[in-house]
Amino acid sequence: MENIMRKPDMQEIKAFVPARDFNTALSFYQDMGFEVASNQGGFAYLKYDNCSFMLQDFYVAEHSNNFMMHILVDNLDIWYDMIKSSGLVEKYVVCLTDIKTQHYGMRDFTLTDPSGVLWCIGEELKDSSHA
């Protein structure tokens, strides 16, 4: 008789995003539209719709400056306009790039958080051959 093991379930996967100044980073993400589901002991559980991550009160420059997150959205222009008009860039002195069309089938822009974490926000290009 074969020993058939059932593949275990997975509910979600979350990144632990570093924060140089935890309270500033927490405010930044709230201003970006994330909801704080919990906040205790140097860890905040942040949610936006069905997406989430853990913000941690931990910072090593080499780590933070090489840490990247990706958000896939349905309408990139709405996201870009929301971030640009929100005042995030000026309030937190962070970098926001222009929207670019990428060779890998995405339109995207990047936003750097106050700790140096790079957020790539993108939308898949619609394949015109399937229209």
**Residue 73 lies in domain:** 16-130
Q: Which two tokens stand for residue 100?
A: 């670019």
- Our count of domains for the chain comes to 1
2 falls within a domain: no
Q: Are 116 and 20 in contact (CB under 8 A)?
A: yes
Span of 3-7, 59-63, 70-74, 85-89 with lowest mean pLDDT: 3-7
Specify the pTM.
Answer: 0.89
In a domain, 33, yes or no: yes
Domain presence at residue 1: no
Q: Tokens representing 30?
A: 């709230």
Q: How far is CA 95 from CA 8, 49, 50, 71, in A?
A: 41, 24, 26, 16
- At position 30, the amino acid (one-letter code) is Q
Q: Mind listing the pLDDT tens digit for each residue in 56-83?
A: 999 999 999 999 999 999 999 999 999 9
Q: Of 83, 33, 13, 52, which Cα lies nearest the Cα of 43?
A: 52
Residue 3, in any domain of the structure: no
Other beta carbons within 10 angstroms of residue 103's beta carbon come to 5
Greater pLDDT, 128 or 120:
120
Query: Which residues, other chains included, contact 111 with Cβ-Cβ below 8 Å and sequence gap of 6+?
Result: 83, 88, 94, 95, 96, 97, 118, 119, 121
5 assigned to some structural domain:
no
pLDDT at position 130 is 38
Asked whether residue 6 is domain-assigned, the answer is: no
- Using alpha carbons only, how large is the chain's radius of gyration in Å? 17
φ, ψ of residue 121 in degrees (nearest 5): -110, 120
Segment holding 91, helix H or strand E: helix 88-92
The domain that contains 118 carries what CATH number? 3.10.180.10
